[in-house]
Structure 1
Amino acid sequence: MLGVLSFYRNEITGNMPPNCRFVPSCSAYMVEAITTYGAWRGFVLSAWRVARCNPTGGSGYDPVTWPPVGYRAGD
């Protein structure tokens, strides 16, 4: 997973202007999530982050934390 992310970050987004709504960027967030929480939880956190990357999903600093932001157990 990290190899694919490295390719994406170096070859694809390296040639485009920065336009991410969040800090850190989604790809940097995914690398940190996978290295911190492992492949499965990192994937879940990253998918949740990408799902929130829309005009109504907010912006700003979004640290990597478990459980995902906006998730409330038992609801």
Structure 2
Amino acid sequence: MIRQAAHFAIRGYQLTLSSLIGRQCRHWPSCSTYTDAAIQRHGLWAGGWIGFSRICRCGPFGTHGIDLVPEAVPPQATWVTPWRYGRWRGVEAPRSPFVCEEFDTGDGQTLTPAPRPASAAPPASR
């Protein structure tokens, strides 16, 4: 019932205020859709904090791009430490299904992809 009320409040924002101030979210899905999905998946308390951390990241010097709601809440998060529910830096991007492989050019040469630096490695799965 509380999740439903939060959903209607967010949907009301999307249909009224969001349309008036312009839809200019730097992420996909938008921050309001993300917060709604987080609340539906993790409940009002945890999902609200997850959504709040996303809204804080959505600014001129914040993150951008594809950012999905986490499947599970972080194990260190509890109701008395709600700030640990949120991801305050970075995004939860889906893993790419594409893998770089060696390529034969046809004239006897084989091209090998350059190794990725450790900083470019995708985040470890939880």
TM bucket normalised to smaller: 0.7 to 0.9
Instruction: Report matched runs for 1:1-75 at 5 Å.
Output: 1-65=6-70, 66-67=73-74, 68-69=86-87, 70=89
> Offset at 1:19?
1.0
- What TM-score, normalized to structure 1? 0.80
Gap regions ≥5 residues in structure 1 = 71-75
**What letter matches 1:64 in structure 2?**
V
Q: Secondary structure at the match of 1:57?
A: coil
**Alpha carbon RMSD of aligned pairs, Å?**
1.9
Q: Which one is further off, 9-18 or 37-46?
A: 9-18
Gap regions ≥5 residues in structure 2 = 1-5, 75-85, 90-126
Distance of 1:30 and 1:54 partners within structure 2: 16
The number of equivalent residue pairs is 71
Q: Of Structure 1 and Structure 2, which has the larger fraction of its residues in helix?
A: 1
Distance of 1:5 and 1:19 partners within structure 2: 16
- What TM-score, normalized to structure 2? 0.50
Structure 1 runs (4+) deviating above 2 angstroms are 14-18, 66-70
- Give identity over the alignment, percent: 31
